[in-house]
Amino acid sequence: MPEGQQEEGQRKLPVLALGALGIVYGDIGTSPLYAFRQALSDLQPTPSHVLGILSLIVWALIIVISLKYLVLVMKADNKGEGGILALLALLNPWRGGETRGKTMLIVFGIFGAALLYGDGMITPAISVLSAVEGLETTAHGIDPYVIPITLVILVALFSLQSRGTSSVGAFFGPVTLVWFITIGVLGAVQIVRNPTVLLAFNPLYAIEFCAQAGSVALPVLGAVFLVVTGGEALYADMGHFGRAPIRLAWFACAFPCLILNYFGQGALVLADPAQASHPFYHLAPGWALYPLIALATAATVIASQAVISGAFSLTRQAVQLGQCPRVRIIQTSSEETGQVYVPAVNVALGLATVGLVLGFRTSGNLAAAYGIAVSSTMVITTVLTFYVMRKQWKWSGWVAGGIALVFLPIDLLFFGANILKIGEGGWFPLLVGGGVFLLMRTWWRGRKLLHERLTEDEQGLDEFIGELKEHDLARVPGTAVFMVGPSPKMPPILPHHIAHNQVLHEQVLLVTVVTEDVPRVSAQDRLEVEALGEGFHRILLHYGFMQSPDIPVALRLADELGMTIDLDSLTYYVGRETIIPTDDVPGMPLWREKIFAFLSRNAMDATTFYKLPADRVVELGIQVPI
């Protein structure tokens, strides 16, 4: 890197780190509100229990967040982007022939991504509810108002999503910085009063606790896992800030402040076991309770915003990778491509979050449902990272396997601890994840079957163009654009058009949108043109999985490649397939075919998705049995 750019990057690093503090660490930063309290809920707050739980917490943060995610997993970026789908795209199991191993990688990755929607529903509910529950420590008789206040905050949060995060994003970093400093100072005061708590840095306390706790150890580990639930979120948000700012924000601020607060809560409980019911809010003096509740509420809203925005980005990636039906995606910022709004996802998350608050009613009950989705995804991330180490980084099997064997047992231990929560509410994120996974796989399989049905009887495109000279087919002035797939066969919409209209434009563009396994493709690499003869051209438009295609804008680049296209005389031809589920042809089970037909009917139409001018589009309907 040139010296000037390096100096500029160093100057921006603190600013980016402040932004990362708000967006990336909002989720993990609000865990002190409920994690330590939940871990103690089934135990007597004895010194051995308190020190054992604190030791588990600190070493979970060190091993899972600091070493696994900050040091290792964030090295596996896809052109700067992170997240489980970016990790899967980095391996690109779709390329080449399909094998059982590649199919398993795809299934693993898609299921991990689907589980994150359950996390996106639970995080706002448990975070905001735990913050508002602080009011219970200030006055008697206020308990009935906790849920209504929580619901008002959540409804307002989801109602404002359409405006994007750019208008309030500037406040995220400073507010979260104040939050971390505040919880760090509150914890430090208690540590000074009872420094014995610092003994918990010794991992032997964690080992001794697990050995002596017996059957209680796994439920406690499930609660301890709540302190690291933001790990997947920080990896998914890497593309917004880069590795260096995220690492700086963690090691310089988030990590030490979290440790101070958790140890402060432990010190408080060691001094007075009666404080175990609400150790976080009991850290503050009486005069500071209301300001702390207000600050905690702001911090939890920020944490919720980050998870909700992550669900929007995940949906766009899934659509671009062909794993999800086309949905309406709105770009909310002209400067930040990662800032998008997906109305359908927002409504689903909002309704589910409100339902969770009404159904579970307390953050303690919600904690039973929280964690199982993220723990499952963490196991999948470790497995996919192992394949990246082997296939992308070319590390030896001994090195990659040794590293995986350090992290995978810990991930599996947390996963096993969270499995115990299924009967207490953990079924919900699994149900959501399983449902989303079924829809994604049904859509992908259905589109594959649809393509096979549409092209099985078609002749080769080269053969058709060669025969075109011999046919007395009228050619009319102008340019026709057919949206087609990448198949070398003649696209079914073309003979359908000829059969009905008996004419063909003088210039025919067969346009195919190709989603690459990189987050973004630059404009200079967008267009690829191949002349096929007889006025036919195949145009490949390359986009990254973090980009939304805009066909008219992309076609303007054709002039740079020597093509002459009159954009004002274009006619776009788009096929609209009507799916006919049937048992008469081999495919999916009939019930899945009906689901695919439903998804196809309700997917966003190609005209809107590709941003085609509606007054220049001709849709041709085709009925396809599958």
Question: For the CA atoms of 236, 239, 244, 246, what is the dihedral angle to 10 degrees?
Answer: -40
Q: Are 491 and 509 spatial neighbours (Cβ–Cβ below 8 Å)?
A: no
User: Does a structural domain hold residue 590?
Assistant: yes
Answer yes or no: do 406 and 520 share one domain: no
Domain boundary among 422, 440, 471: 422
Q: What is the pLDDT of residue 8?
A: 46
Q: What is the rounded CA–CA span in Å between residue 555 and residue 527?
A: 8
Tokens of 198: 């610092």
**71 in any annotated domain:** yes
State the total domains in the chain: 2
Q: Are 299 and 393 members of one domain?
A: yes
DSSP class per residue in 253-268: IIHHHHHHHHHHHHHH
Q: What is the pLDDT of residue 327?
A: 87
Q: Scanning the structure block, which residue is given the tokens 């001709």? A: 618
Tens of pLDDT, residue by residue over 518-573, are 778 888 888 888 888 888 888 899 988 778 888 888 888 877 777 777 777 788 88
The answer as to whether 477 is a domain residue is yes
Q: Supply 581's token pair.
A: 């589920």
C-alpha distances in angstroms, 496 versus 144, 484, 508, 526, 621?
64, 13, 15, 29, 9
Helix (H) or strand (E) holding 210: helix 203-213
CB-hemisphere CA count at 13 Å for 357?
26
Q: What is the pLDDT of residues 258-296, one digit of tens each?
A: 999 999 999 999 999 988 888 999 999 888 888 998 999
In terms of domains, do 248 and 353 share one? yes
Domain that holds residue 602: 452-625
**Using CA atoms, how far apart are residues 62 and 70, in angstroms rounded to an integer?**
10
Helical segments of 458-546, H only:
461-468, 493-501
Q: What is the pLDDT of residue 200?
A: 94
The beta strands (E) that lie in 455-548 are given as 474-483, 503-515, 527-533, 536-543
Q: Are 197 and 286 contained in the same domain?
A: yes
* 603: amino acid identity, one letter: A
CA dihedral of residues 127, 128, 131, 132 (deg, nearest 10): -150
> What mean pLDDT is reported for the chain?
84
Please answer whether residues 219 and 211 qualify as being in contact, where contact means their C-beta atoms are separated by less than 8 angstroms: no
- Which among 32, 28, 71, 26 has a CA at the least distance from the CA of 53? 32
Rounded Cα–Cα distance for residues 337 and 357 (Å): 32
Count of other CB atoms within 10 angstroms of residue 500: 9
| Distance, CA of 301 to CA of 297 (rounded, Å) | 6
Q: What is the rounded CA–CA span in Å between residue 263 and residue 226?
A: 16
Last residue of a domain, one of 383, 407, 422: 422
Give the Cβ contact number of residue 173 at 10 Å.
21
Instruction: State whether residue 574 is helix, strand or coil.
Output: strand
Taking the CA atoms of residue 107, residue 113, residue 118 and residue 120 in that order, the dihedral angle to the nearest 10 degrees is 180
The answer to whether position 604 is within a domain reads: yes
Do 289 and 219 reside in the same domain of the chain?
A: yes
Q: Assess whether 403 and 487 both reside in one domain.
A: no
C-alpha distance from residue 330 to each of 180, 303, 341, 609, 612 (Å): 33, 22, 5, 10, 15
Average pLDDT by consecutive 10-residue portion of the chain (626 residues)? 46 80 85 90 89 96 95 85 81 67 80 84 87 76 83 89 63 89 96 94 93 86 90 79 88 96 96 88 89 90 82 83 84 60 90 92 81 86 91 91 94 90 84 90 88 72 75 81 76 78 85 82 86 85 84 83 75 84 81 90 86 85 78
- pLDDT score recorded for residue 5: 41
Q: Are the C-beta atoms of 500 and 536 separated by less than 8 Å?
A: no
What the block records as the tokens of 565 is 């296209």
Separation CA 322–CA 545 (nearest Å): 10
What is the reported pLDDT for 117?
A: 87
pLDDT of residue 424: 81
Helix (H) or strand (E) holding 7: helix 3-23
Q: Is residue 445 part of a domain?
A: no
- The residue assigned the tokens 């067969």 is 510
Q: What is the CATH number of the domain that holds 356?
A: 1.20.1740.10
β-strand 536-543 against 570-580: which pairing, if any?
unpaired
Residue with tokens 């619901």: 151
Percent of the chain with pLDDT over 90: 25
Q: Assign 15 to helix, strand or coil.
A: helix
Contact between 238 and 232 (Cβ < 8 Å): no
Are 376 and 456 in a shared domain? no
Residue 504, beta-bridge partner list: 475
Q: How far apart are CA 510 and CA 471, in angstroms?
A: 20
Residue type, 292: L
Which residues are 476's β-sheet partners? Answer: 505
Percent of the chain whose predicted confidence (pLDDT) is above 70: 92
Return the pLDDT at 3.
Answer: 43
Same-domain check for residues 274 and 331: yes
b/e per residue 200-237 (b: at least 16 CB within 10 A) = beeeebbeebbeebeeebbbbbbbbbbbbbbbbbbbbb
Q: Please check whether residues 284 and 187 belong to one and the same domain.
A: yes
Whether 433 maps to a domain, the answer reads no
pLDDT score recorded for residue 159: 87
Asked whether residue 77 is assigned to any structural domain, the reply reads: yes
Q: How many Å apart are CA 50 and CA 605, to the nearest integer? A: 57
Do 318 and 400 belong together in one domain? yes
What is the widest separation between alpha-carbon atoms in the chain? Answer: 95
Contact 622, 562 (CB under 8 A): no
For residue 325, which of 609, 533, 62 has the smallest C-alpha distance? 609
pTM metric for this prediction: 0.81
Contact 363, 33 (CB under 8 A): yes
Q: Are residues 364 and 471 in the same domain?
A: no
| CA-based radius of gyration for the chain | 27
**Per the domain annotation, does 428 fall within a domain?**
no
- Last residue of some domain: 372, 400, 422? 422
Nearest CA among 445, 519, 401, 382 for reference residue 98? 445
What is the residue-wise DSSP string for 80-100? TB-SHHHHHHHH-TTSSS--H
Q: Are residues 535 and 579 in the same domain?
A: yes
β-strands 527-533, 330-331 pairing: unpaired
The confidence score (pLDDT) of residue 196 equals 93
